[in-house]
């Protein structure tokens, strides 16, 4: 989009990131449509609140009428039963893109995640165009989110920007955040740039602050969106021990990535009615299998001590 969009819809505006995006777009857009399945209050005449579920394609298409752009944040933001991730993140994003197409929206910004590549080892500097290596089923759902965006761009000419959001926090709260932190200021900056960048068809870029210890490449974000983050988690480095085991190796998704995380919800959704299978409670299945599954960042490979 070469000019500032007039009317922007934000889905999932009541969540953790939504208020920062909302505040960051005030004054940038003529009108904001605040969409969530929980009630939200419009501040003044420049905002409209819409209570809707992203499972409801028709409600979305109605809410998107007259909009220039959609910032899609709604969904499940963490590991969850696979069926829930498919419904909320994959089908939900399909509904958002399809509603955008029907309503003639020009651009959609998708909240993707760093977990699409979370299985790369921490010593690997990942470029945005490297193959996905999700570190869990949540990451898998975000790979599908990006694929849907790419398909809608290729097939229907929708302009789509997928932001692979790092760790959105007021301030870094754990060692890993020295690499992965996305400050509120940079979050707003990435979203504004994703809405305004000219000549976009489809792009997926990391949205992370300019952390000295980051393992994600920001060249694509600079080239395609024209945004260079301003914050650096290094300012908080003294709060965390230098010799934290995190820096010794392992997956970028963090120490809790791997079999245990993926199997935490194993069995949920296997039953005939979508609930846990009768003879295999989810927790038990997860515990047993996690004990025997490989702990490296990829089966048969060590956990990433090798730099590249």
Q: Is 204 in the site for ligand NAD (CB under 6 A)?
A: no
| Shortest separation between residue 111's beta carbon and ligand NAD, angstroms | 3
Specify the stretch interacting with ligand NAD by CB under 6 A; choose among 10-18, 188-196, 220-228, 300-308: 10-18
Local structure of residue 29 (DSSP, 8 states): B
Q: Are strands 159-165 and 7-11 parallel, antiparallel or unpaired?
A: unpaired
The answer to whether residue 231 forms part of the interface with ligand NAD (CB under 6 A) is: no
Query: Could you tell me the two tokens for 305?
Result: 């001590």
* Residue 275 buriedness (CB in 10 A; 0-12 / 13-18 / 19+): middle
Residue nearest to ligand NAD (CB): 15
Q: Residue 58 interacts with ligand NAD (CB under 6 A)?
A: no
Cα end-to-end span (Å), the chain: 37
Among 5, 18, 121, 172, binds ligand NAD (CB under 6 A): 18
Q: Does the protein bind ligand NAD through residue 14 (CB under 6 A)? A: yes
Q: Which of 33/165 has CB closer to ligand NAD?
A: 165
Residue 31 CB, shortest distance to ligand NAD, in Å, is 20
Q: How does strand 69-72 pair with strand 7-11?
A: parallel
Report the distance separating Cα 268 and Cα 33, nearest Å: 35
Please count the helices (runs of H) and the strands (runs of E) in the chain: 10, 9
Q: Kindly state whether residue 144 participates in binding ligand NAD, applying the rule CB under 6 A.
A: no
Give the residues lining the site for ligand NAD (CB under 6 A): 12, 14-18, 36-38, 53-55, 73-75, 77, 88, 92, 111, 113, 165, 167-168
């Amino acid at each position: 989009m070469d000019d500032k969009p007039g009317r922007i819809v934000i889905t999932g505006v009541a969540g953790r990131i939504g208020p920062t995006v909302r505040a960051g777009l005030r004054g940038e857009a003529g009108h904001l449509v605040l969409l969530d399945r929980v009630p939200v209050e419009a501040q003044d005449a420049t905002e409209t609140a819409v209570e809707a579920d992203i499972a409801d394609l028709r409600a979305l298409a109605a809410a998107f009428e007259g909009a220039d752009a959609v910032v899609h944040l709604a969904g499940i933001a963490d590991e969850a039963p696979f069926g829930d991730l498919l419904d909320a993140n994959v089908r939900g994003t399909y509904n958002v893109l399809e509603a955008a197409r029907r309503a003639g929206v020009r651009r959609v910004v998708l909240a993707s995640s760093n977990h699409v590549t979370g299985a790369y080892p921490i010593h690997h500097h990942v470029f945005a165009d490297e193959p996905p290596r999700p570190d869990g089923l949540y990451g898998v759902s975000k790979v599908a989110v990006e694929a849907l965006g790419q398909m809608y761009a290729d097939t229907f000419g929708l302009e789509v920007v997928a932001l692979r959001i790092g760790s959105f926090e007021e301030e870094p709260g754990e060692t890993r955040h020295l690499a992965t932190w996305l400050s509120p200021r940079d979050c707003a900056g990435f979203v504004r740039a994703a809405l305004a960048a000219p000549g976009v068809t489809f792009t997926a870029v990391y949205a992370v602050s300019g952390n000295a210890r980051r393992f994600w490449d920001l060249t694509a974000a600079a080239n395609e969106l024209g945004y260079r983050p301003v914050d650096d988690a290094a300012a908080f480095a003294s709060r965390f021990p230098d010799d934290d085991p995190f820096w010794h190796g392992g997956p970028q998704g963090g120490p809790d990535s791997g079999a245990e995380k993926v199997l935490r919800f194993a069995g949920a959704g296997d039953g005939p009615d979508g609930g846990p299978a009768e003879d295999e409670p989810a927790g038990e299945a997860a515990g047993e299998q996690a004990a025997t599954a490989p702990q490296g960042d990829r089966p048969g490979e060590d956990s990433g001590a090798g730099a590249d």
